[in-house]
Structure formats: structure tokens, C-alpha cells
Structure 1
């Protein structure tokens, strides 16, 4: 490393360089290096990929090695492995840096077995693709990954997302608009995006394939698409003459629309350039670091003894964290709603339509011009005098000066002064006549407008005028806090019980918006309110068509309830084992595929790693189209536990479906769900319970008997082939089943039930196997 300046690998055309990059000069840190790729001719050697972001190595005795097993390994001065390719690459011969900036491993046949393009950091290069499994993550100092990501959302829309432990949200495309208003396509099964050599960025979700185009669109320009530290996505073009970069396209031209820039309680405003400020009554938490935001000068206690008031901030909003949406109410009602709720930190009120949004957390604060008058009221102690404190406002649009509002209702009085010109000291003869006609016309217009609004309101709601409001209703209804009174009303005092289990009792209810929901009363929940709510917000970000949606929760006193999607046809167990409804083969295969997709999402695609821990037919629900939806996937995170995975395993699970490692006390991994999925596959194919297949009297010997049964299946599959398989498939299906699909499902079940969990497949590979056999059949 002492000769690091010469230890550089270059692409054949010299465009890119790869080696140890000295971050000392950039961040004033001594002897720190990353193994990176950069543009050779750029003035400041802009990094486009790093192996060890956030974990630099020392200047002495650190090395990068291509080992005999085909892996590239980066070690620090003490021999500690900091990064490696970590794969099985037979016959690897060399490492090569391509002219595209792609670092690759090639075998003896010249085929690429590993490439850096598959694991981007914060930059996408021309010809490089972003897929469902990849993402860009912004970089802060020391090449540390930050909270901003660029990836496909759960709706298959390529998005900029602020993702922190407590807060997560899309800020581009604009979340205030529907996907079609943002010229995007929803739920496209293909997730792929790429930048070409012309400076055009294509994505599978772009409506009518309208690419995002660089302002200097042409061939021959070196480019990079980078998610910068401030959360904005920018396309850069390199000036070959001086090595400088110019911006040729930007995703978010309004900087203050980026989430999290000013941290909790901070407000982003234009003066005229973007800057952060704390509202009156707050101070900066950590001077010099706005990501930590502001904190209250005086905390508001929840004992009810402290008088509170609200500071009015016009043209200001703290986007998200809405506790609820209350329509067509006067300011006083909104005011009192927030006063009576200790968790409410403030509320937004839209004058004109009277819409109220109480907020549990003040984040993403910004002032900005809007066609609707949005006013934010933040809760402050009455004892705190902020009347002389400046209020953050943007200087790029007009606004009415804000101040501390101590009244419950804000009354605005306006006087109109009309100067009438007189001719010769006398009023015109026709003045009163035309005045009368004008007043009559105004009254008539008002009357017809009044009638049109109330009589034709239903028709109007289906028009584009109401589309945005309806879209917002759908968006906000996805997850929110419900009051206990709301849920008592929805269930008619918990009258309609659907069933009960180890996690609690389940009821059916109807919300005020006529949505049928399931309301689950949780038992054995011992976390405090904050911990429970934090975990709920993590689970709320989970969204997949094969998972039951969580609409919200209730946290009042000792009540702990979840509000869930109601699924029409009940559980797979009821349909498969008890119902008169017969699942045909196509439906069974679709259920197997859907459950696999749901588990693969939980294991591999979620922002937070989730293990179900109790997969069984009772927890697989079927909607009106018999599409499967996995239920109870978040309860492993919510029910009582001391924190270790082993304790989770003992708290949950059903005999017959639990993996052998639970009994042996090994740490729990996603492979326990794979095991349970294997049992479900056997039951789905045979139409019988696992206990009926193995005929066991002593339930402590379930794993032993199931192991013998799997050996028998393997033998009969290899020797008796189609004859035995026809006997194993549910006799009610008859001969109406696909042999290739049935054989694949049984083979997958066998591999899922391997006693050694390392030999079990991942849910991603299972999905791929099922999709391939489904495509082969079609």
C-alpha cells in the first residue's frame, strides 16, 4: 500500500481506473483507503463504485487478492477480511476492468462469473441496469451509506425513498399525485431501468416509454447517474478538457421536496437558496448537522397539567405522519382534536375545504407555494413566549405574516374599498340600474353553483376534479392509528368473532368508509408504547399482493389491536380440508406460487428482514379469486420476547410445521419458513394433513417420521415415477393435473424438508423454479 499510486488497474481505453482510493484528502482522515473505481480523467477522481463503503482500510499492509477459489478478497492491515465477492466461481482466471467501468471476474472460457455492475453503490453508469434486487444508496462522509435510496418500490415504481429506522417514504415521483399523474405505470411485473450512451434513462414503469433525457443528449459524452448525499438524483456529463462535471438532468428540481433534509421538526425554505431553520419554540439538536433536526426548548408533558397553544405557520407543511384525516370541519374542531391527544405534535389545516390532518411526528417540514392554502399549527407550551422569534418562510412567493395564534378560531376580517368616479359632481343616471342587474346576476350564479355542488356531487366525484382527493384517501387509508371507539363501532362492540389463536381473538368489522376489515385483539404484548409503535411502523411498510395488508392499529391504554385486510374465502386449511369447494390443479399451483412469492418478499425484498415463524394453511388466506395472502407475518416481531431469535421460536410455531432446529435450540433463520413451506406443499398436492400422511401417534416424533416419509418419497419418485405420483396427488383432482408441475412441487417439498437447513433452497430460488415450470407448461 505504500506504493498505492502505481497499483492501479485501468480499462483498456483508459476511461476508468480501479484500485485503492485515498479518502484522506477528501475527508481529512489519515491513512484511510477504499477499493474503488473512478473516472480517470475527472478532476477530483469521482468514485463510481466502492467495495468497502463505510469501512476504509489502513494505508499499510492492506491488500486486494484474487484467491484460488475464484474470490476477490479485501483485507485490512491485520488480516481482517473487510470485503469479498463471496461466491463459488470455478476456473476463474483473471480480473478485468471493462471500458464500461464494470469490474468483472472471468473464467477460462472468458465468461463473466461476477461483476460489480450487479452491486451498485451510489452511481449508475451507461449500460448498467437497475433491477428489482438492486438499488442505489447515497453516500455521506467517509463513503458511508446514507438514508436515501433509489430503487423500485413495492408498486414497481422506480422511486427516490428516504429510509430511516423510524421514518420511510417516497419523495420522488411526487407522492401528492397519483401514479398516472406522474406518468408512471403501476404494478408492472418487469422491474428494470438503464442509462444509455446518449444520456437517456429508461425504466419499465415510465408511461408510454418516455425516457428521462439529458439536456446534452448525444453520443461520445462520459456520463454517470448519481444519487447524491442530499438525496437528489442527478445525471452528470464530463467535460474532457478540464475534467469537470456538469448537471444535464435532475430528478427533483425543488430541493425542499426531498424528505429528511432538515431532520425532525426542521423546516426547509428558500431564502432564496434552500436552507434549514427551526420553528419558534425549537432549537437545533446538533449544530452543524441538520439531519438530526431540531428539539423542543420546553417539552410538553402528558399529565394534562400543562396548558398548550399553537403556532400558526402559513404555506407550511410537515409531509406524512398523519394520525387521521378529518374532512369539512372548522378550525376549532381540528384544534381541539390535537389538544386532547398527547401524541399529537401539531396539525395541518386546509382553509376552504376544511380538511384537518393531526400529526404524530413533525418531519419533512417545508414552506412552498401551493394552489391550496395549507397552514401548519405546531403545539407549544402556553408559557413559552415566541412572539418575537422569526418564522421560516420562503421568499419566492407571497404569504400572510404568521404569528402565535392564542384564540381557538382565527377570524380574518377584510374590507373592500370601492372608489367611484363621479362626472360633474353627480352619479351616473344608469348606475343603480346596472348595479341591480349585476347583483341579480351574482345571486343567480351562486344559486346554480350551490345546486350543482349538492345535486351533482356524486357524478362529480368520479371526475378528475375528485381524483386527487380519492387517491389521497386511498394513500392515507393504507396505515394509520385508529381510536378504540372507532373499532368498537366497526365491530358492533366486537360482536362478530371470526376465530382465535395463540396471538389473540379475531373479529370482522366495517369501517366508516364501508371497508370490510379484520380486527385482531393481540394478547401477550408486553412492550411499551414506543417500542410497539416503532415495530408497527416497520411492518406497515410491508406491502405485497400475496401478503394480507395492515391498515392500521390501536394503542389506547392497555388495548393493542391490529386492523387488517378482510380476505373473503377464509383460510387455505378450511378450503382444502373442510370445505365442499374443490380446488382444481391450476388453483393449487397458483397458491403454491403465490405463497412462495410472499415469503420471498419477506425474506429478500423487505426493507426490514422478516421471518414468519408460523407458516401453515391456517395462516394462508384466499381472496375472492383464490389468490393466496399470507397472514400473521408480522406477529413474530410484535409478541412478547426478550430479543433473541431463539425466544421467538419457542413462542411461535405449530407442531408438524416447525423446523428441526427449533427443537435443537439453534438460532432461527429464514430457513424455518422454507421448512414450513415444504410441509404446506405436501398438503396442497395430496389434499391431506401432514399427520395423516405420516400417521404418527407421538407428536414428539413428528420430525423422525417425516424424515422417513421423505426418504420414501425420494425412492418412489426415482423408481415408480408417474404411477406413484398419480396416487399421491389428491384423488379429488383425478387425472386433471399437470405431471411436470406436480413432480416439481413434490421435489421442492423434499428439498425444503432437508434436516440440514443449509441444504434447503431460498424462497427466491423456489419462485424461480415454479415460474420456469409454469412458463414451460404455457
Structure 2
């Protein structure tokens, strides 16, 4: 955790609450300001703006002119400028890292003799937290009296409150155990417990009867997946929703808990929104945002709608951004584990949204990656390390993204590559990647015309197509150390998008 002169930790017992200013940065532009340079440092998330190919002075002037800007990150050489609205999750990087943070402070603040405490992003030791200074409710703060005569009075007073609290809690627990459990069947007890666990996540619990009414007895089926069926419904407030009904209860309960666990920790405008859930008897349902155009698979692999080149490029960029958010911006690493066209939904503007976190894996940023007990994901999209038993990292999503990118380019399912062949998908993909790498090294680009979906009739950008094929080769690397990260994929695609404009 990085802290510095002019700022203090909001809560010394909880570093995730970030830093707050102890000096005023006003909007009247009357007090002169300056910037303090912190090399090899970054504050994850809370970016106001992302700008590319701008000068250092232009980046500084943008932050200086915005009173809500707390500082900016500038990458020398790349000209990348990120202005910061808040200061959360500050970390230092190795010496050769180009990231530099410039903190905005009033000119009167003296920082010449300040030693800036830092935490290495690769340091396995967790940051020191002073839990004795955690913010606690006033009712629990013991009054310190200067007179010994008053001390017994306060001891008796708080002792009485504590005893009363213990008796009240015991009575409630007694009533819940003997009364509520008699009224509920065992399967419903689990549902009540789960409701309590997710109450703080602002989900609404729906009754099964409500959802039967909303779907007209599950009349309109939107699709089927490995974990269940998805139906369309309309709630009482006339909001259209998609209801995911989990099948195979013994396995569905586990997936239901996993999906709720992930959803409670993450939220992003381009991840499918979850409005609530139903856990009643043997029924396990999720009430999700309805996305108008359905899945990428239903459009890309059919003749009903033709996605033009610009739409395909925007989908590739959008999915990369969402995965980069899960991998690099969440306080906890989230690995989706089942990235495929069926789990990428397109809204009315064909903007992609990622859904189905039933197989997702959560990893602490300071923790070690763990092996899993069984292979997850969908055949054709799973990375080789799932099968070989190697440690699972966010690179499994990168591999799956490479397959999706390959399908966006060719317009065909990767499974069709093995038609008429006895070889496994991974063997065929290795040969394809080797062939693409060889062709990219050659000077003739005429083969790209044959590789890109013929339904486009040659209407595509050769520069973007060639770079996307390079990304496919990089994402499908067998060696996870050589495989791209989603962050680098986003930067590559954004540079193409800017050149196209």
C-alpha cells in the first residue's frame, strides 16, 4: 500500500479503503498546485480518462485543470495517460517498469524530506495493517475517564449492556432453531441460510411462484447450457429478464453457490447484471438482465444476421476489455474458466456482455494459484494446462479468448477444424498456429483473404486482420509464460482502433 505526505490511510486497519487527502484541493483555482513524482508506481482502478499518444505536459495540464483529479499515471515512450479520480490499491513495480504516478498536492505542502512507504506488487508478504486503529462504531468505544472514582460506574454500565446483548442473541437463536426449522423442510433450510448470506449483496430473492408467473410457466426458452436452461420472462415492473434454471440439483447447488459468490464480489457495466435469485425447495434459479440479441454463437454461426468487420472488431475489443477487468482491476483475481461464444451476449448495439460465472475461480492477489480437481470449461475452448494438471492462472481465459478471436475471424467453429480427422482439437490447433506463424513471417498477405470469413466479401481491414491473427498465435501459445495477457491484448487492439479512426 502506498501512502504519502498530504494523504493518510482512510482506515489503518483496512487498506482497501484507500487514502484520503488531509489538505484541500479546491475548484476555485486560487491556490497554486504541484505534482509529486512516484516512479515505478501505480494505483489500480479509479481511472477518470484513458488517453493515448499524448505528451507529458498535455497529460499534466488535463489533471491540473480538473479539480476532481487526484493525480495521473504517465508511461514514458508509449504516451499513455491515465488520470485518477481516487487513490486505491497503490503498489510499486520493479525498477525497469515504465509506470510513474504524479500526485497533485498544494504547493505549500513540503515533501522534500518525506519517505514514501511502498509495497512491492510482487511481495508475497501482505501489507501491515494496524487493526487496533480500525474504525469501530461509537457504541463500542469505551469511554476513558481520568478519575478512578468513575471507572467502576462505566464497567457496570457496559457490563449490563453486554449481558443484555448476549441474552437477546441467545433468545433469537433459540427461537430460530426450534420454531423456524420445524416449519421448513431440510431443502428450504438451505435456501433460508443462503438468503442471509447474500442479503448484503443487494440481490432480491424471488419466490418460485413469482418466476412461474413471469415466464408464463417457462414458455419461452432462450437457450441451453451445461448447467441448465435459460428462459425469457417479464417481471411485475415490466422489466424483461432471462431466468437461468440450474438442472441436476446435486451439482446445481454447488454451481449456484459459486455463481452467487462471484457476483457478490464483482460488478461492471459490461458484465451481465444479476437482479436476484430463487432458492426454494429443489429449485435454483438466477434472475438475469435480458440481453436483446442473444449470444454471439447464435449470430456468428448462423445465416440470420451477418456481423460486419467493424462489429466483429468491436466485439473482440469489448470481450478483451471485460476479461482484462476481471484479471487486472478486481481486488480479487477472477478467472471465468468458460469463455466461449455462447457466454458472450450482444445487446441492441451489438456491444458484448460476459455471462455465466458458474465455473469461475476466485484467487487472492497475494495468494498462490491452486490446481483444480477436475477439468472445467468446454471442449475446444479449454487450455492445455487443464488437461495436463499444471497450475491454473488467468492464462486459461487468454487461451479461450484466442479461440473466440479465431472464430470471429474465420466465421467457423473451431470444432469444424477436426472434421474428417482422427486428431484431437489441441493437436490440430497446434498445427494451425504453426502454419499461421509461418505465414505471418512471409511478405505475402494474399492468404489473409482466404482465411477471413468469406461471407464478408473481402470487406475488412487487412492491417487489423493481420494483427488479430498475430494475437491468435500469441493467445494459443502452449507455454503460458509466452502467452499474452488480456491487458496487452487490449492495448494492441486499442492502438488498431485509434489508427483506424
TM-score after normalising by structure 2: 0.67
CA distance in 1, matches of 2:438, 2:198: 63
Residue 732 (structure 1) aligned with residue 455 (structure 2): yes
SS of 1:568 mapped into structure 2: coil
Residue 149 (structure 1) aligned with residue 17 (structure 2): yes
Call closer, same or farther: CA 1:571–1:529 in 2, change over 3 Å.
closer
Pick aligned residue for 1:646 from 372, 382, 388? 372
Deviation at 1:568, TM superposition (A): 0.6
The residue number in structure 1 matching 2:311 is: 587
Call closer, same or farther: CA 1:228–1:521 in 2, change over 3 Å.
same
Residue 519 (structure 1) aligned with residue 243 (structure 2): yes
The residue number in structure 1 matching 2:179 is: 305
8 Å CA contact 1:540, 1:550 repeated in 2: no
CA distance in 2, matches of 1:362, 1:558: 19
Residue 608 (structure 1) aligned with residue 332 (structure 2): yes
Unaligned runs of 5+ in 2: 21-45, 52-58, 71-82, 87-102, 118-127, 146-157, 182-187, 363-368
The residue number in structure 2 matching 1:633 is: 357
**1:252-271 equivalences in 2 (<5 Å):** 261-262=136-137
Query: Highest relative contact order (Cα 8 Å, sep 6+), 1 or 2?
Result: 2
Pick aligned residue for 1:771 from 490, 494, 499? 494
The residue number in structure 1 matching 2:69 is: 202
8 Å CA contact 2:336, 2:361 repeated in 1: no
CA distance in 1, matches of 2:430, 2:411: 20
Higher strand fraction: Structure 1 or Structure 2? 1
Pick aligned residue for 1:543 from 258, 267, 273? 267
Deviation at 1:685, TM superposition (A): 0.9
Call closer, same or farther: CA 1:536–1:714 in 2, change over 3 Å.
same
Pick aligned residue for 2:434 from 711, 718, 721? 711
Deviation at 1:608, TM superposition (A): 2.9
8 Å CA contact 1:122, 1:228 repeated in 2: no
CA distance in 1, matches of 2:250, 2:401: 30
The residue number in structure 2 matching 1:481 is: 205
**1:281-680 equivalences in 2 (<5 Å):** 282-283=165-166, 296=170, 299-303=173-177, 305=179, 360=196, 479-524=203-248, 526=250, 536-636=260-360, 645-648=371-374, 650=375, 652-680=376-404
Residue 123 (structure 1) aligned with residue 40 (structure 2): no
Deviation at 1:681, TM superposition (A): 0.8
Task: Provide the aligned C-alpha RMSD in A.
Answer: 4.7
Deviation at 1:267, TM superposition (A): 5.7
Give the count of matched residue pairs. 401
Q: Deviations over 1:58-79 (max 9, x none)?
A: xxxxxxxxxxxxxxxxxxxxxx
Deviation at 1:486, TM superposition (A): 2.2
Call closer, same or farther: CA 1:187–1:755 in 2, change over 3 Å.
closer
**1:683-702 equivalences in 2 (<5 Å):** 683-693=407-417, 695-698=419-422, 701-702=424-425
TM-score after normalising by structure 1: 0.44
The residue number in structure 1 matching 2:31 is: none
Deviation at 1:772, TM superposition (A): 1.5
Deviation at 1:147, TM superposition (A): 6.0
CA distance in 2, matches of 1:485, 1:151: 47
SS of 2:285 mapped into structure 1: strand
CA distance in 2, matches of 1:229, 1:279: 26
Pick aligned residue for 2:108 from 219, 225, 239? 219
Deviation at 1:524, TM superposition (A): 4.2
8 Å CA contact 1:137, 1:149 repeated in 2: yes
Call closer, same or farther: CA 1:605–1:724 in 2, change over 3 Å.
same
CA distance in 2, matches of 1:634, 1:279: 42
Call closer, same or farther: CA 1:344–1:716 in 2, change over 3 Å.
closer
Q: Deviations over 1:483-523 (max 9, x none)?
A: 22222222122222222121111111111222111111123
Unaligned runs of 5+ in 1: 1-120, 129-134, 141-145, 153-185, 233-257, 285-293, 308-339, 346-358, 365-475
